[in-house]
Copies of this chain bind each other. A is one copy, B any other.
Amino acid sequence: MEERNKVKEKMKNLCTRCGYQEVKTPTFEKLKLFKLKSGEEIVEDIYKFEDKGGRGLALRPELTAPIMRFYSNELKSRTKPIKLFYFSNCFRYEQPQKGRYREFWQFGTEILGGKTLEADAEVISLADSILRELNLEFDLKIGHLGVIRELLKSEDIEEDAQDKIMSVMDKEDVEELKTVLNSYGITKEIKNKLIKLFGLEGEPREILDKAGKILEGNKSVLGRLSDLDKLIDLLDYYGVSDFSLDLGIARGLDYYTGIVFEAFVPGLGAQNQVCGGGSYEFPEFVEGGFKSTGFAIGFDRIMDALEIQGEKIQSRPRSMAYIVPVSEEFREESMKVLREARKSFPAEIDLQNRGIGAQLSHINKLEIPYAILIGEEEVKKDKVSLKDMKTGDQDLMELKDAINKIKSKYKEYDIRY
């Protein structure tokens, strides 16, 4: 938990620095909300139940739909854009495996009403800086759902078919792509364009140039490419330049519309996507549509990734000192020492009326660095015995000196931590 809290705090601090405010929504929502908005794939895996009133409820499988519902109930009158972040658990009934749990934690942000490329660039740079702050090695991929969608739309291909084709493009299997394109009876010209787009490689600007040539003449698609061009400039202003362009990103959720992005950590195995996001729309909640943008980070996978990449977060002992009454008659004196010690660092006392030997063995098991012993001699001389549990050295000294010594050791932990 200490490691998780530390990572969470880093994420929170970065969001706070950028003016995002934390939000928490209820753990369950009406089932309808997710049926409407979260995409078929997710709805399959929802934990659903009825309450005593017969209402269909669901444990949230993701956070964006609940936040839009919350916006629509509570935040509508606020000045836009609204910048939020969350750290919350989600639930999906999937086969558990490394990096995929039935209850999992997501850290994410949303810019509600953030309909510009400026807003897209801000969330991408925030995701990027969170992953960097954690010293993670990762690959960032950016795409634009509009490119392929506009191209298919210009050929009057229906939305269901668009969805199918895009989800196949996401899989990076050119043969499957060809099969699907044939099955929908796509013209040869468009088919060739799609396959060429699919295979593009190089630096982001190169890909844009090549895509521009492939798509020459199709004005609305070229508009999406120039969005990407402007986004690259904006990301550059934020200091984000280490990413690749991937026009095949489809994302799993039905509500995405424009710029999308994903981050992957090499070495995480099959579940190696640690972050996903992009711009989306929930027209149900706001008349005339309401563009927003955001991302979610898979918190459990991040913790796995940090472990794999050897980014061990130094953990402190649970206490710096353990007060040892040599026998029960010294409990009152020992408690005075405990209360004094707790003003400066985490400290504990025997709660089991154990003998001194059993207490010292307990302290060793807890890996607490110091014991402060209180017995007859100590009380008589108004001092304490400070025992260094590592070296075994024990010295009679003023309580004040013992506390100062432990305090300075405690500060070292704080710096390393």
Q: Enumerate chain A interface residues (CB-CB to B < 8 A).
A: 1-2, 5, 16-24, 26-28, 47-52, 57, 59, 78-81, 83, 89, 91, 93, 103, 111, 114-116, 118-119, 122, 234, 237-239, 318-319, 331-332, 335-336, 339, 342, 345-353, 362, 365-366
Contact = CB atoms under 8 A, between A and B. Distances in A.
Contacts of A89: 27
B23 A351 contact: no
Nearest to A344: B17
A91 B83 CA distance: 29
A353 B118 contact: yes
B351 A122 contact: yes
Contacts of A114: 351-352
Nearest to A352: B116
Nearest to A321: B19
19 contacts: A2-B21, A17-B342, A18-B342, A18-B348, A19-B319, A19-B348, A27-B91, A28-B103, A48-B49, A49-B50, A81-B351, A83-B318, A116-B352, A118-B349, A118-B353, A234-B335, A237-B335, A237-B336, A238-B335
Contact of A51 (B47, B345, B365): B47
Nearest to A13: B346
Given A27-B27, A116-B351, A318 B51 contact: no
Contacts of A2: 21-22
Contacts of A23: 1
A233 to B, nearest CB: 8
A342 to B, nearest CB: 5
A27 B103 contact: yes
Nearest to A57: B47
Contacts of A237: 331-332, 335-336
Nearest to A111: B351
Contact of A79 (B79, B81, B103, B366): B366
A339 B238 contact: yes
A308 to B, nearest CB: 22
List the number of copies, as a whole number.
2
| Residue among A50, A319, A365 with most chain B CB within 10 A | A319
A122 B23 CA distance: 34
Contacts of A346: 16-19
A118 B22 contact: no
Given A28-B59, A238-B335, 6 more contacts: A16-B346, A28-B103, A83-B348, A111-B351, A118-B349, A119-B352
A318 B347 CA distance: 36
A318 B118 contact: no
A351 B347 CA distance: 49
Nearest to A366: B79
B332 A365 contact: no
A59 B27 contact: yes
Contacts of A234: 331, 335
Contacts of A5: 22
A256 B116 CA distance: 58
A22 B2 CA distance: 7
A238 to B, nearest CB: 7
A238 B118 CA distance: 56
